[in-house]
Structure 1
Amino acid sequence: MFADIRKIITLAWPVLIGQLAIIAFGVIDTAMVGRFSALDLAALGLGSSIYVSVYIGLTGILTALQPIAAQLFGAHRYQEIGEEVRQSLWLALALALLGFVVLYFPEPLLNIARAPEALRERTQTYLRILSFGLPASLVFRVYGSVANAIGKPRLVMVLQIGALLIKFPLNTLLIFGGLGIPALGGPGCALASLAINWTLALVGMLLLTCHEVFAPFAISARFCWPAWRRQAALLRLGLPLGLSYLIEVTSYTFMALFITRFGTTALAGHQIAGNIGAVLYMTPLSLGVAVSTLVAQALGAGRAAAAQTLARHGILLACALACCYGVLVMALRPWLISAYTLNLQVIASATSLVALVVCYHVFDALQVITAFVLRAYKVAVVPTLIYAVALWGVGLGGGYVLGFNLTGLTPAALTGAPGFWLANLISLAIAGIGLLFYWRTVSARYLRTRPGASDNLGI
C-alpha cells in the first residue's frame, strides 16, 4: 500500500502545485476585484461561473486524450500517441469556435440570472474578453493531457507557476490602473488572463515540438488532416467526459445564477465559499490525475490487478486527506473569509456557507477520485448518468426547492444560498457513493477479460 501511495504522491504533488497556481488566479481575481467594488466582485462571480461552465465542458472533451495516451504509453505504442495529439489539436480548434460564440454572446445565460443592468453589462464585458482566450486554453489542455499521461506533470507545473508570477502584477496594473492605463476593475483581470493564456499555449506547443521528452511521439513529424475514425474515437470517450464535467460545473453555475436573485451580498458570499471549495478541490483533483495516469498505464501494460489496487489506494488517500482539510478549514474559517473581504455583510453571508463547504468537500473528494479512476478504464457513459441524476436532479433541483422555499417548509437558515449548498452536498454524496460501487463492478469485470477488452468498455 505504501509503495502505491508513494507513486501516487510522486505524480500528484506537481499536479497539485500547478493546479493551486491556476486556482490562485481565481483567488487573486476575487480578492483584488473585491477591493475594487462590490459590483465588480458580483460580476466576477457571475461571469466566472459562466466561463468555467463553457471552459470545463469543452476541455472535458479533450481530456479523453489523457487515458488514451496513457494506455498507449503503457503499451509502448509511442508513434500512435503523436497521431492522437495531432487529432486532439484539430478537435480543440472546432471546440474553440463553439465556445467563442457562447461566451461572446452570453445574453441567454444572463437572462436566467435576471441581473440588474449594471451587473449585466459588467459581466458581458468580462466574458467577451475571455472569449478570445478560450482557444489558447484548449490548446494548453492538449499539452497538459499529454504531459500528465506520460508521467511528466512537472513540465506543466513549471509553466503554471510562471503564469502565476505574471498574473499578480498584470492584475494590479489592469484592475487598479497605472502607467497611463485607466482602472478597469473586473474586465482588467480578464485582460490579464487573456495575455497569460496565449503565452501558455505558445510555450506548450513549442515544448511539444522541441522537448526531448516528447521526441519519441514525433508529434511534429508530419502534417495531417482530421482523421474521422480517430476523431470518432476521441468523441466517443470525450463527449461523455465533457458532459460529466459540464453537469458538475453547471450545477455550480446555476447555483450562482439563482443566488444572484438574492442580491449582490449573497452572491459575493457564495463566491468566497466557492473559491475556498475550489482550493480544497485541487488536492483530490491532483490525486485523481495521478491515479488515473498510473491505472491507465497499468491497464495498457496488461496489469489489471495492479490497476485495481492502485485505484483503491488512491481513493482511500483522497478521502483521508479531505477529512483532514475539513478540520483545518473550520479552525481557520474567520481568518480565511476576512482575507477575501472587509464587508461585514458579505462575511456573515460567507461564514455559514463555508461550514457546509467542509462537509461538501469530503464527498467531492470521493466522487472526483473515483470518476478519474473510471476514466482510466475508458468508462464514461454510466458515470455521466450518475452525475446527471445526482447533481442536476438532487443538487440543483433540490437546491431550488430549498433556496426559494417552494414548499413553505424550508427553515429560515436554509433559505437562499445555504439551501443550494446543502442540496449540492447531498448530491455529491449520492454521486460519490454511486461511482464507487460502479467502479467496483467495472474493475471486477475487467479482471475477467483480456487486457485489450478495455477498448470495448466505454459504457
Structure 2
Amino acid sequence: MFADIRKIAGLAWPVLIGQLAVIAFGVMDTVMVGRFSAVDLAALGLGSSVYVSVFVALTGVVLALQPIAAQLFGARRYTEIGEEVRQGLWLSAALAVLGFVVMFFPGPLLAISKVPPALYDRTETYLRIAALGLPASLVFRVYTALANGIGKPRLVMILQVAALLLKIPLNLWFIFGGFGVPALGGPGCALASTVINYSFAAIGLALLAKLDFFAQFEIFKHFCWPDRKRQIALLKLGVPMGLSYLIEVTSYTFMALFIARFGTTTLAGHQITGNLGAVLYMTPMSIGIATSTLVAQALGAHRYDHARTLAFHGIVMACAIGLAYAAIAFILRPAILAGYTTNAAVIAAAMPLLPIMLVYHIFDTFQTVTAFVLRAYKVAVVPTVIYAIALWGVGLGGGYALGFDVSGTIPSWLTGARGFWAASAASLAVAGGGLFAHWRAISARRTSEASASR
C-alpha cells in the first residue's frame, strides 16, 4: 500500500502545487476585489460562478485526452498520442466557439438571480472579458491533459506557478487602475486572466514543439484535419465527462444565483465560503488526477489487478487527508475569514456556512477521486447519471426546498444559504456512494475478464 501511496504522491504533489497556483487566482481575485467594493465582490462571485460552469464543462470534454493518452502511453503506442493531441486541439477550437457565445451573451443566466442593475452590469462586463480568453484556456488544457496523462505534471506546474506570479501585478494594475488604465474593479480580474491565458497557451504549444521528450509523439510532424473516428472517440468519453463537470459546477452556480436573492452580504459570505472550499478541493483533485494517470497506464499495460489496487489506495489516501483538512479548517475558521475580508457583516454571513462546507468537503473528496478513477477506465456515462440525480435532485432541489423553506416547516438555522450548503453536502454523499459501488463492479469485471482470457 505504501509503495502505491508514494507513487501517487510523486505525481500528485506537482499537480497540487499547480492547482493551488490556479486556485490562488480565485483567492487573489476575491481578496483584492473584496477591498475594492462589496458590489464588485458580489459581481465577482456571480460572474465567476457562470464562468466556471461554462469553462469546466468544456474543459471536461477536452480532458478526455488525458486517460486516452495515459492508456496509449502504458501500451507504448507513442505516435498515436500525437494524433490524439492534434484531434484534441481541433476539438478545443470548436468548443471555444460555443463557450464564447454563452459567456458573451449571459443575459438568460443572469436573469435567474434577479440582481440589481449595478450588479448585473458589473457581472456582464466580467463575463464578456473572460469570454475573450476562453479559446486560449482550452488550448492550454490540451497541453495539461497530455502532460498529466504521460506522468509529467511538473511541466504544467512550472507554467501555472509562473502564471500566478504574473497575475499578482496584473490584478493590482487592472483592479485598482494606474499608468493610464482606469480602475476596473471586478472585471479587471478577468482582463488579467485573459492576458495570462494567451501568453501561456503560446508557451505550452512551443514546449510541445520544442522539448525532446515530446518528439516521440510527433505532434507537429504531421498535419491532419479533424478525423471523424477519433473525434467520436474523444466525444464519447469527453461529453459525459463534460456533463459530469457541468452538473457538478452548475449545482454550485445555481446555488449562487439563488443565494443572490438573500442579498449582497449573504452572497459575499457565500463567495468566501465557496472559495475556501475550492482551495481545499485542490488536494483531492490532485490525488484524483495522479491516481487516474497511474490506473490508466496500468490498464493500458493490461495490469488490471494492479490498477484496481492503485485506485483503492488513492481513494483511501485522499479521504484521510480530507478529514485532516476539515478538522484544521474548523479550528482556524475565525482567522481564515479575517484573512479574506475586514467587513464584519460578510464575516458574520460566512461563519455559519463554514462548518457545513467542511462536511461538504469530506464527501467531495470521496466522490472526486472515485470519479477520476472511473475516467481512467473510460467510464463516464453512468457517473453522469449519478451526478444528475444526486447533485441536481438532492443538492439543488433539496437546497431550494430548505433555503426558501418551501414547506414552511424548516427550522430557521437550516434556511437561507445554510440550507443550500447542507443539501449540497448530502448530494455529494449520495454521489460518492454511487460512484464507488459502480467502480467496484467495473474493476471486478475487468479483472475477471482478463483472468478468463489467459
What's the secondary structure of 2:181's corresponding residue?
A: coil
What's the secondary structure of 2:340's corresponding residue?
A: coil
Q: Which amino acid aligns with 2:340?
A: Y
Match of 1:101 in 2: 101
Match of 2:299 in 1: 299
Q: CA deviation at 1:448?
A: 1.7
Match of 1:30 in 2: 30
Match of 2:334 in 1: 334
Q: Which amino acid aligns with 1:275?
A: N
8 Å Cα contact 1:295-1:373 kept in structure 2: yes
Match of 2:445 in 1: 445
8 Å Cα contact 2:304-2:450 kept in structure 1: no
8 Å Cα contact 1:304-1:451 kept in structure 2: no
What's the secondary structure of 2:410's corresponding residue?
A: coil
Aligned positions of 1:170-249 closer than 5 A: 170-249=170-249
Match of 1:368 in 2: 368
8 Å Cα contact 2:395-2:425 kept in structure 1: yes
Match of 1:433 in 2: 433
Q: CA deviation at 1:413?
A: 1.2
Q: CA deviation at 1:342?
A: 1.0
Q: Which amino acid aligns with 2:197?
A: N
Q: How many residues align?
A: 453
User: Counterparts of 2:249 and 2:310 in 1: how far apart (Å)?
Assistant: 27
1:136 aligns with 2:123: no
Aligned positions of 1:49-448 closer than 5 A: 49-448=49-448
User: Counterparts of 2:191 and 2:24 in 1: how far apart (Å)?
Assistant: 16
Q: CA deviation at 1:451?
A: 9.3
Q: What is the CA deviation profile of residues 47-82 of structure 1, one whole-angstrom value per residue up to 9, with x for unaligned ones?
A: 000000000000000111000000000000000000
8 Å Cα contact 1:31-1:340 kept in structure 2: yes
User: Counterparts of 1:401 and 1:211 in 2: how far apart (Å)?
Assistant: 54
What's the secondary structure of 1:133's corresponding residue?
A: helix
Q: CA deviation at 1:125?
A: 0.3
User: Counterparts of 1:85 and 1:160 in 2: how far apart (Å)?
Assistant: 20
Q: CA deviation at 1:179?
A: 1.6
User: Counterparts of 1:184 and 1:59 in 2: how far apart (Å)?
Assistant: 28
User: Counterparts of 1:6 and 1:196 in 2: how far apart (Å)?
Assistant: 33
Q: What is the CA deviation profile of residues 241-283 of structure 1, one whole-angstrom value per residue up to 9, with x for unaligned ones?
A: 0000000000000000000000000100000000000000000
What's the secondary structure of 1:36's corresponding residue?
A: coil
Q: When the two structures are superposed, what TM-score results if normalisation uses the length of structure 1?
A: 0.98
Aligned positions of 1:7-26 closer than 5 A: 7-26=7-26
Q: CA deviation at 1:36?
A: 0.1
Q: What is the CA deviation profile of residues 389-427 of structure 1, one whole-angstrom value per residue up to 9, with x for unaligned ones?
A: 000000000000000000001111111100000000000
Q: Which amino acid aligns with 2:169?
A: P
User: Counterparts of 1:330 and 1:47 in 2: how far apart (Å)?
Assistant: 28
Q: CA deviation at 1:450?
A: 3.6
Q: CA deviation at 1:344?
A: 1.0
Q: Which amino acid aligns with 1:435?
A: L
Q: Which amino acid aligns with 1:432?
A: G
Q: When the two structures are superposed, what TM-score results if normalisation uses the length of structure 2?
A: 0.99
8 Å Cα contact 1:363-1:429 kept in structure 2: yes
Q: CA deviation at 1:44?
A: 0.1
User: Counterparts of 1:261 and 1:315 in 2: how far apart (Å)?
Assistant: 37
Distance 1:452 1:265, change over 3 A: farther
Match of 1:457 in 2: none
Give the RMSD, CA atoms, in angstroms. Answer: 1.0
8 Å Cα contact 1:33-1:185 kept in structure 2: yes
User: Counterparts of 2:425 and 2:12 in 1: how far apart (Å)?
Assistant: 25
Q: Which amino acid aligns with 1:18?
A: G
8 Å Cα contact 2:29-2:189 kept in structure 1: yes
User: Counterparts of 2:295 and 2:452 in 1: how far apart (Å)?
Assistant: 14
User: Counterparts of 1:410 and 1:133 in 2: how far apart (Å)?
Assistant: 43
User: Counterparts of 1:20 and 1:451 in 2: how far apart (Å)?
Assistant: 41
Q: CA deviation at 1:180?
A: 2.2
Q: Which amino acid aligns with 1:242?
A: G
Q: Which amino acid aligns with 2:46?
A: L
User: Counterparts of 1:69 and 1:133 in 2: how far apart (Å)?
Assistant: 26
What's the secondary structure of 1:93's corresponding residue?
A: helix
- Gap regions ≥5 residues in structure 1: 454-459
User: Counterparts of 2:181 and 2:126 in 1: how far apart (Å)?
Assistant: 17
What's the secondary structure of 2:351's corresponding residue?
A: helix
User: Counterparts of 2:103 and 2:355 in 1: how far apart (Å)?
Assistant: 33
Match of 2:3 in 1: 3
Distance 1:34 1:452, change over 3 A: farther
8 Å Cα contact 2:129-2:194 kept in structure 1: yes
User: Counterparts of 2:422 and 2:318 in 1: how far apart (Å)?
Assistant: 22
User: Counterparts of 2:297 and 2:188 in 1: how far apart (Å)?
Assistant: 42
Range with bigger deviation, 90-99 or 444-453: 444-453
8 Å Cα contact 1:99-1:134 kept in structure 2: yes
Q: What is the CA deviation profile of residues 289-316 of structure 1, one whole-angstrom value per residue up to 9, with x for unaligned ones?
A: 0000000000000100000000000000
Distance 1:299 1:132, change over 3 A: same
8 Å Cα contact 1:299-1:451 kept in structure 2: no
Q: Percent identity?
A: 67
Q: CA deviation at 1:150?
A: 0.5
8 Å Cα contact 1:300-1:451 kept in structure 2: no
User: Counterparts of 2:49 and 2:250 in 1: how far apart (Å)?
Assistant: 8
What's the secondary structure of 2:449's corresponding residue?
A: coil
